[in-house]
Amino acid sequence: MKKIEAIIRKSKFDDVKDALHNVEVNFFSYWDVTGVGNEKEGHVYRGINYSTSEIQRRFLSIVVNDEFIQPTIDSILKSAATDKVGDGKIFITPVEEAYRIRTGEKGDKSLN
């Protein structure tokens, strides 16, 4: 099992959610977050200067069985990309164990 954490543009959340559902990843948690990025320039929209170094993002936390790792990553990469600076990051970490509280099931069974 792996934990996949992704930081994406809020505007791409619905696309990512749909892409995850298409590869049968039907449960994940998410939060609205603010981060500081590398871009130093701002953007002007309708005469107003917006800083892009501190920008609203969505943080996704997904735990998947080993067979779903690559499809999950691929679906996020494809659906979250705009080919512009600030598209986000994906982080992968091992999960030692998982339990379903309701039934006490553990391991891969707890994720189904």
pLDDT (0 to 100) of residue 43 = 65
pLDDT (0 to 100) of residue 36 = 74
DSSP 99: B
Say if residue 32's pLDDT is above 90: yes
Name the average pLDDT for the chain: 90
Instruction: Tell me the helices (H) and strands (E) count for the chain, helix number first.
Output: 2, 6
Q: Which residue has the higher pLDDT, 86 or 12?
A: 12
Structure tokens at 91: 């982080």
Structure tokens at 111: 């994720």
Query: Residue 17 and residue 7: Cα distance in Å, rounded?
Result: 13
Task: Summarize pLDDT for 45-73 with one digit per residue, the tens.
Answer: 677 766 656 678 999 999 999 999 999 99
Helix (H) or strand (E) run with residue 48 in it: strand 48-51
Q: What is the mean pLDDT of residues 6-24?
A: 97
Residues 6+ apart with CB under 8 A from 101: none
